[in-house]
Structure 1
Amino acid sequence: MRVVNFSVPVWFPPRARERARRDEVQLTEQESAVFLCLATGASNAELAGELQLSVSTVKFHVHNIRAKLGGISRLQACLLAALARESARPKPVSGGGAAAVPR
């Protein structure tokens, strides 16, 4: 299993925050892929096309993701996915000089 690491914001419902504090959220590889794609706000059909899965498989994974995150709504799962994507994005290397500027 793959562990998705992120902090649940304080403004999320208590159940989701408490669940995330108790243990880290563990998602399967496909759940992780669906979770990170949820950040786009795409429909199940759009996610299915992008991930080359059936719509029913995407629905199954979204249901499992929401349950593992404490029974949050799809919108809340989308927001968490966007936050997780943002925190997983590599930080730009800061360094002065002309070499730091792509040409």
Structure 2
Amino acid sequence: MRVVSFSVPTWFPPRTGEKARRAEVQLTDQESAVFLCLATGASNAELAVELQLSVSTVKFHVHNIRAKLGGISRLQACLLAALARESAGSQEPGRPGADPLRRVPAARRG
């Protein structure tokens, strides 16, 4: 299993009462696929059809994504996904800038 690292922008508002947020979030391949599709604002049922998953699997991944991003709302997750897609799409080879979705190897389970 590979893990995708996503950087939450520092300007993104934290939850009420939250002081600090992890700057980087580790998403699995499945979670990152669901995350990027959230940018369209599609429902769980629409995401399930697009990704060829069951609705319950999509719900599971959306719940995990929101939790990993600090318990943000679905709307906030959609906004972050749209920003990630825009940043990834505007990146050209050879241009400076951090890739918002950077693949990192997963830790081996023992």
Question: Any conservation in 2 of the 1:4–1:27 contact (CA below 8 Å)?
Answer: yes
Counterpart in the other structure of 2:98: none
Amino acid at match of 1:4: S
Identity %, equivalent residues:
73
How far apart are residue 13 of structure 1 and its match? Answer: 1.8
- The correspondence of residues 8-27 of structure 1 with structure 2, limited to 5 A, is 8-13=9-14, 15=18, 18-21=20-23, 24-27=24-27
- Aligned-partner Cα distance in 1 for 2:35–2:85: 9
Amino acid at match of 1:85: R
What is the aligned residue count?
90
Structure possessing the higher radius of gyration over alpha carbons: 1
* Greater strand proportion: 2
TM-score normalised over the length of structure 2: 0.72
TM-score normalised over the length of structure 1: 0.77
* Greater helix proportion: 1
Counterpart in the other structure of 1:83: 83
How far apart are residue 48 of structure 1 and its match? Answer: 0.1
Counterpart in the other structure of 1:46: 46
Structure 1: give runs of 5+ residues left out of the alignment.
Answer: 94-103
